[in-house]
Structure 1
Amino acid sequence: MVKRRRIALNYRVNYDFSAGIVIYIQNLIKGFKLLEDSLQPHLTIIYTEDSPIQEVKEIDYPYIDYFKYKPIRKNFFTKAINKISRETIGTNILRRYSFPSHADILYPYFDCDENFFLKRRYYWKPDFQEMYYPQYVSQVEYSYVVENMKRIASNQEYTLILSSQDSFNDFEKFFGPFRNRVKILRFISLLPDISQLNPKQVLMKYGIDKKFFVVSNQFWPHKNHRLVLEAINKIKEKHTDFVVVFTGKQSTYRDREYFSKLQVYINNENMKDHVRFIGFIPREDQLVIMKQSVAVIQPSLFEGWSTVIEDCKALNQYVLVGDLAVNQEQVNKNVRFFNRHSADDLAEQMDNLLTHPVKTESAPYDESIERFKQNLIDVFELEHVHS
């Protein structure tokens, strides 16, 4: 009889908070499904009222159950009882009902009263942008990241999963020497089937009737949308027949005026004819739009491992990306790099593609999928529990 690793996946997210994390967890489940049956772990999905749980159910993973996460209502009584119990027996008596304590691994690990029994903790840190751009996060968030990373680095029982060698270098730089285990899990994009969608109808749906580039980033300050607008401004007189399409929710808790400041710039520079904001759209539509574009633009000032770049690799689509070390680690075909601080450089690259369109080089994605499958086996030690 097969003994399966039991993994609880932390899916307490939604698209408003981070579309990237939602897709990351879904791709993990799709990746586990690609493994041979004897290696597939049993999954418990921890979700909340706002989590897109139906999308997980549609993956139809064979060994799975679900746990709806509800925080304890904290009042004077529960706080007093739990304070006494922690002092006497080391844990809280009052907990959530039937928390999934049977898991071998909770990933990504999060702290709550019921997790004391998990000595082996699998944390995830996609990148260390807070260390380079502390101005884009609150002091509370920055302090939490620093203290949490120090705590992880000091405990040999803990595992930290990173998404790139570049992130590993940063962890070593800021928090080394470390005692914890570190593993690298380079995620991929396992895309939904878009072959039945009519590209012309999708473009018409969003009023896209010119040659276009697309930017598919959340509207967070470090995503560097302003640079793209400045590049558009530099070539809009030469190329009157193109537009840049921006997808994604037009809000962020990190800078609530971020999107409005972009709009002010567009209005002041008379750029409305070259910019199209289409908001948060179905993923299938987003992928069709990316595939039909002149190129996808990924201008971020910082990334851990870009979902957008991975989507482009899976779609075999051309991409213009900022010159981050992690981007150069991630992609080497159908790509041009630009100085992420230079609107002139990006404008030149866009001008070149509009003037001299390029054909993408064939780059099969199968090898990436196979590496990801083996990566899942190694990181979660799936072979170790099978006889």
Structure 2
Amino acid sequence: MINVGFIINYRLSGWLGVSNYYKNFLNSINNIKNSKIKPIIITDYHFTKNEKLFFKGVKIIKTHLVDRKSRGKKIINNLLISIFGRNIFLDNFLKKNNINIISHTSYLGKNSNIISLKWFPDFQEIHLPELFNSKQILARSYDIKMAAKHSTKIIISSTSVKNDLKKINNQAYEKGLIFKHVNEIIKPEKLKNYHYLKKKYSLKKKYFFLPNHFWKHKNHIVVLKALNQIKKKLNFDIISSGNITDYRFPNHFEYLKNYIKEKKLENYFRILGVVPFEDVLCLMKYSVGVINPSLSEGWSNTVDQANCYGRKIILSDIKVHKEQKPFRGVYFKKHNHKDLASKLIKVSSLKIKQKAEKMHILKAYNDSKLKRKKYAENYQNFIIKISH
């Protein structure tokens, strides 16, 4: 058995997309028949009971060595790796606990005997540098340079993101490995029914679903502008869920709310905030379609989940969305609200044949289940190969 460690030492609710990614990924590994690898979470003493329940079934080890609140430890760790090529304290801890590999979450140094695989979800700063201050861009650049020098391999979620990496650091690009993840979802017939949703969220008519956090690069404004253009002939709502806090732009949500109020869109655009994961999937399943207007993604969970349920999905025309190729995808020009408005009208007017739709959803789910199994097995095969 190969023990693979994942250093997860942040507040899970503050980074839900990544947290769900880890949960789905670790569950997929644990579901491999006759698995040869065992995932272990390495965290600090700030890890809560609820966070432990979130990763139910995964072994968890706590240590002060990865304390999220100790900036000094982070600085010392980077200094030790930069000067000596490894952090002897962390190395000894990992060896003591029989951790053979650290995956996704850290680099251990070029002189460490323990394999480290560093994951980069995306390189948003390439496409949207205006969303970062100079300190943030410098920190991201430093992280890539350190990973290029001090990780064994670098994990990338898509070909588009790997191509971005080539523009930044060729050494890192040469170490890059692509693993296109697939989300673990609930079987369609096991989801709660429409009446549950209708009562809980006061649904009054058909709706599109936009399950993206209210971060600036998620591009909610183009959706609001599209709604404003067609609001007099709407026969649908847009329901949006997600975290309302953008740490880089704390006033962004207020800006969106003010736009909604100014253009009188309250009756057409509803904000639910963070909702339970199963409700996200329910809202997706019973929607007219899903919207992802994002200006930058690494590999979109929203697109993947919508595809798993056979939903129509209206997407911004960024490269990674085209790479994902959802089989019921409809693309619009990412900054063009008029193009989006016409696509919303077109998709909302399509007639749904219930029997065909049911079969469509079942096929999409079964396809995703096979892809998820293959994804976990490919990862396991790589771990076995790199360990020898």
TM-score by length of 2: 0.84
2:106 is matched with 110
**In 2, Cα distance between equivalents of 1:191 and 1:307:** 11
For residue 107 of structure 1, report the CA deviation from its aligned partner: 1.9
> Contact between 2:108 and 2:114, CA under 8 Å: does it hold in 1?
no
> Contact between 2:101 and 2:114, CA under 8 Å: does it hold in 1?
no
Deviates more, 1:135-144 or 1:228-237: 135-144
Task: Indicate how the Cα distance of structure 1 residues 331 and 214 shifts in structure 2: closer, same or farther if over 3 A, else same.
Answer: same
> Contact between 2:39 and 2:59, CA under 8 Å: does it hold in 1?
yes
1:174 is matched with 168
CA deviations 1:79-112 (Å, max 9, x no partner) are 9x99999999987787799567531211223268
Task: Indicate how the Cα distance of structure 1 residues 219 and 43 shifts in structure 2: closer, same or farther if over 3 A, else same.
Answer: same
1:44 is matched with 40
For residue 238 of structure 1, report the CA deviation from its aligned partner: 1.0
Q: How many residues end up aligned between the 2 structures?
A: 373
1:33 is matched with 30
2:124 is matched with 129
**In 2, Cα distance between equivalents of 1:286 and 1:261:** 25
Counterpart pick for 1:341 among 312, 335, 338? 335
2:268 is matched with 274
Deviates more, 1:373-382 or 1:216-225: 373-382
| SS across alignment from 1:237 | helix
**In 2, Cα distance between equivalents of 1:376 and 1:290:** 25
CA RMSD across the alignment: 3.4
Q: Does 1:55 align with 2:23?
A: no
Counterpart pick for 2:314 among 308, 312, 320? 320
> Contact between 1:158 and 1:180, CA under 8 Å: does it hold in 2?
no
For residue 211 of structure 1, report the CA deviation from its aligned partner: 1.4
Amino acid at match of 1:364: A
CA deviations 1:149-205 (Å, max 9, x no partner) are 1333346x6211000111111111222255752211101111135625122112321
For residue 24 of structure 1, report the CA deviation from its aligned partner: 0.8
Task: Indicate how the Cα distance of structure 1 residues 29 and 85 shifts in structure 2: closer, same or farther if over 3 A, else same.
Answer: closer
Amino acid at match of 2:52: I
For residue 130 of structure 1, report the CA deviation from its aligned partner: 1.1
- Identify, as 1 or 2, the structure richer in helix: 2
Task: Indicate how the Cα distance of structure 1 residues 242 and 153 shifts in structure 2: closer, same or farther if over 3 A, else same.
Answer: same
User: Identity, % of aligned pairs?
Assistant: 24
**In 2, Cα distance between equivalents of 1:88 and 1:331:** 44
Amino acid at match of 2:148: A
Task: Indicate how the Cα distance of structure 1 residues 263 and 305 shifts in structure 2: closer, same or farther if over 3 A, else same.
Answer: same
**In 1, Cα distance between equivalents of 2:320 and 2:334:** 13
Task: Indicate how the Cα distance of structure 1 residues 151 and 117 shifts in structure 2: closer, same or farther if over 3 A, else same.
Answer: closer
Deviates more, 1:329-338 or 1:352-361: 352-361
Amino acid at match of 1:105: I
Which residues of 2 match residues 304-383 of structure 1 at below 5 A?
Answer: 304-358=298-352, 361=360, 363-380=363-380, 381-383=382-384
> Contact between 1:164 and 1:184, CA under 8 Å: does it hold in 2?
yes
> Contact between 2:158 and 2:298, CA under 8 Å: does it hold in 1?
yes
Identify unmatched segments of 5+ residues in structure 2: none
Q: Does 1:236 align with 2:235?
A: no
| SS across alignment from 2:184 | coil
> Contact between 1:11 and 1:25, CA under 8 Å: does it hold in 2?
no
Which residues of 2 match residues 150-189 of structure 1 at below 5 A?
Answer: 150-154=145-149, 158-176=152-170, 178=172, 180-189=174-183
